[in-house]
A and B are shown apart, each in its own frame.
Chain A
């Protein structure tokens, strides 16, 4: 087991180095704006550009910059300083993480609460009017871009610009003080982020359930005289949910890593996704690098923990 964990940790670390290198290569080889020139403002004094290049250590060879960066990350958990604000990247990420975590956690609860029952009912009532209605609705939600859905939600229900003024609108998270107020400010973002995902989960769940319910052991369970509810819940759902669990782990990791960009931008939630948009627009390499590394770190660690526990519980994994 120890060897297994050590192997996975080393592999995770190597993966982080590779991810960092890829981001570095992308930044230096693709035509991004030069951070020194962006920061110099309108004054065309070449000496000033040179000063800023030096200030940002951009004159060092790329491999030196990369090595210094890696040293900071791995030995001091230091992700460097933002080119733009000069604030430590780690501080900014830690500052942005709660908003993203709250957004993702609420949305996960909603999309599971909506998507799974819909998928199960659709599968059980296959080809009924209810099934068709729910699947058409889910298709519509999948097709609706999140930014569009977000703006529509704002203009319909936000308490400042909405037609029916009920829920907190754009930017309300920043002004919310208590945890309850923060949760309330997230209501529309949760629903918007959950809507499309719930629809996807519903369709996955439906197809998985249909497949499972056609298995021999389901017929056997029914033949043994089990109640239909037990057949569906204890034998059908527990088996059909396997792909959903895998999907969920990946989705949560990605969203925490900044994939809720559109929702965070539309509702002005100061989270990881919003921050990465700002950083890309300003060619703020340390911030981009930090967020990408953070995302990769989170996904790797998360999967590692699951795999370790999996390996602990299932002896077959250790020998593979």
Chain B
């Protein structure tokens, strides 16, 4: 009988031992403060009361800890590898770039490390920056001043396989010597290759030489974390490993830093759990436009229920929602007023869109009239309702989203002129039938074996709801839809982004900006030569010479107005090919606790940790 009690007691003893052996520290949440600053709504369709605050109030107070609650983690701490909206939000507070985005800036970034705007040569092929004096790294490199060689190294190391940046080779491909550097990085994988077109004549000057006049694209990329300086002498040993371990030992230039020890090992990052951000003692406010009110920021992760997580914030036990939108029920509850103040919720255009891609390379959607019929017959308002309705964003009638140059030129919130199949957001069955007849279906509905189509979409809401609603809309047009729901990442990596395995319809795709320049919206998802056998993002598989030529020409235009017009025209051209059905320009919805003076950065559409403050 003693043995039975032993079996009972032993697990308990082991458990207790484990508990006492391992249980360790957490962190404090505290304080909070209220609304503030200017706002942005304009032509975005967002009601004024929910417009994002883009400036701190005059009486913003210093100090306090801000707790951001998040479902997931950032992608990389290493600024050379970071390629995720949520990571950028953290990065813009801990790393400084040559140029970066004050909260209300939507067109041009402001000088950050740079002492002024760049000097651009008359032929638009040379960009020269001078950086400020007196910018130092965080401990343990507090005595080391930032030089332009560090910025050059940061960009060069991003080509290494151990860092593998996601956008350098796209947006900086016109820098002289880039092709050779890419080849060199393939041959010698643990050494950063030299990019001959980036010169540093002295410690404070950096010059970018371009093969072509694609200044805007390069400047856009220089506002991203990849231009955050990385000191080569310090980072080299970490970069010699593959993958690079620099992210575990990063040094910072922004007003904040991730907590570290005296050797530079990050102690404030627990993957999938928490990031602790504290003030960077090396930061000099005289060199920066950021006010940096907060003393510390804690990003708590793992909140998988968006309803209870958002309510936690609204009630004040955490301060700001971060990487997830509140559930539609919470959004409605705040919008209707009563328990919560409307100012606790802010809605910002995300700089992204959602659309449904029709495979233009296979029957039946190789026929443009069938594609037009599908677009004409689709009730896009119903599709938007699957994600939460009006506040989740305006119905998209074309491609470039709000706040991006070219949006107004393409029609703003209206459909482009002359494209009747996009004119009715609620769908136009009669027009759809007309296009079906033009495609040869006299009944006005798709008939026959070619109308048996495949669709692969999300297996969980809200993506699955969108797919289901669209499935019904297709069936009303006569299609026999074989819908295969799969997990979201599988949808991309096994089906919609693999042309050899692509279904006829991909209902859950979309594109979010890399930068605030419209070039970032066309090079990847619309340029025919960009269609890849793997990880393809041209989901309509449109390879149209007219579109390709338009993209090549538009990216070389440097006059801002001409450029916006060119991309607006390109948007219309793309929409005239009817390869995709755009249905919403996404908004990001953020809620805050009553004691937070929230500031949203319009570039990222999320909280700006360097401007947000807490009322004490």
Residues of A within 8 A of B (CB): 31-34, 37-49, 51-52, 54-56, 82, 84-87, 92, 94-98, 101-102, 104-105, 108-109, 151, 154-155, 158-161, 169-171, 173-177, 179, 181-182, 238-239, 241-242, 244-246, 248-249, 252-253, 256, 265-266, 268, 270, 274-275, 277-278, 281, 283, 302, 305-306, 309-310, 313-314
Contacts and interface: CB of A to CB of B under 8 A. Distances in A.
B524 A44 contact: yes
19 contacts: A31-B490, A33-B489, A45-B169, A49-B535, A55-B162, A108-B15, A160-B311, A160-B315, A169-B312, A169-B317, A171-B300, A171-B302, A171-B309, A174-B27, A174-B300, A174-B302, A177-B26, A268-B309, A281-B489
Nearest to B6: A309
B4 A160 contact: no
Contact of B535 (A40, A87, A238, A305): A40
A242 B315 CA distance: 48
Interface stretch (B98-106, B268-276, B547-555): B268-276
Contact of B271 (A56, A82, A169, A177): A82
Interface string B297-314: 000111111001101100
Given A33-B494, A283-B489, A46 B167 contact: no
B166 A101 contact: no
Nearest to A95: B270
Lowest 3 CB-CB distances: which A-B pairs, in order? A85-B271, A98-B22, A160-B317
Contact of B166 (A42, A175, A182, A277): A42
Nearest to B533: A46
Contacts of B533: 46
B169 A270 contact: no
Contacts of B164: 39-40, 48, 51-52, 55
Interface residues of B, number: 85
A151 B329 CA distance: 15
Contact of A249 (B11, B25, B271, B303): B11
Given A44-B530, A55-B243, A98-B18, A171 B303 contact: yes
Contacts of B289: none
Contact of B15 (A173, A245, A252): A252
Given A37-B534, A48-B166, A49-B534, 7 more contacts: A40-B535, A47-B169, A92-B272, A160-B312, A170-B308, A171-B69, A245-B7
B16 interface: yes
Given A38-B489, A159-B317, A43 B311 contact: no
Contacts of A161: 308, 311-312, 315
A119 B301 CA distance: 40
Contacts of B67: 175
Contacts of A245: 4-5, 7-8
Contacts of A154: 308
Given A46-B535, A265-B304, A306-B7, A105 B272 contact: no
B272 A85 contact: yes
Nearest to B25: A177
A116 B302 CA distance: 34
Contacts of A171: 69, 300, 302-303, 309, 312, 318
A174 B84 CA distance: 24
A122 to B, nearest CB: 20
Given A55-B164, A245-B4, A174 B26 contact: yes
Interface string B3-30: 1111110111011101101111111110
Contact of B524 (A43, A82, A253): A43
A202 B29 CA distance: 40
B3 A38 contact: no
A175 B28 contact: yes
A47 B15 contact: no
A169 B308 contact: yes
A105 B16 contact: yes
Contacts of A31: 490, 494
Interface of B: 1-8, 10-12, 14-16, 18-19, 21-29, 67, 69, 72-73, 75-76, 83-84, 161-162, 164, 166-167, 169-170, 182, 186, 189, 242-243, 245, 247-248, 270-274, 300-305, 308-309, 311-312, 315-318, 487, 489-490, 492-494, 497, 511, 514, 524, 530, 532-538
A94 B493 CA distance: 32
B162 to A, nearest CB: 6
B493 A33 contact: yes
Given A86-B245, A245-B7, A37 B318 contact: no
Contact of B304 (A52, A268, A275): A268
Would you call the interface of chain A mostly helix, strand, loop, or mixed?
helix
Contacts of B493: 33-34, 37-38
Contacts of A95: 270, 273
A42 B308 CA distance: 31
A122 B301 CA distance: 44
Contacts of A39: 75, 164
Contacts of B271: 82, 84-85, 87, 92
Nearest to B270: A95
Contact of A97 (B22, B28, B167, B272): B22
Nearest to B84: A41
A182 B242 contact: no
A86 B91 CA distance: 18
A265 B514 CA distance: 32
B302 A238 contact: no
B3 A314 contact: yes
Contact of B308 (A151, A238, A241, A274): A151
Given A33-B494, A174-B27, A265-B304, A278 B309 contact: no
A51 B244 CA distance: 13
Nearest to A238: B1
Contact of B305 (A104, A170, A249, A270): A170
Contacts of A314: 3
Contact of B3 (A54, A56, A86, A313): A313
Contacts of B26: 173-177, 181-182
Contact of B4 (A37, A242, A278): A242
Contacts of A54: 161, 189, 242
B272 A248 contact: no
Nearest to B5: A245
B238 to A, nearest CB: 11
A151 B167 CA distance: 41
A188 to B, nearest CB: 12
A245 to B, nearest CB: 4
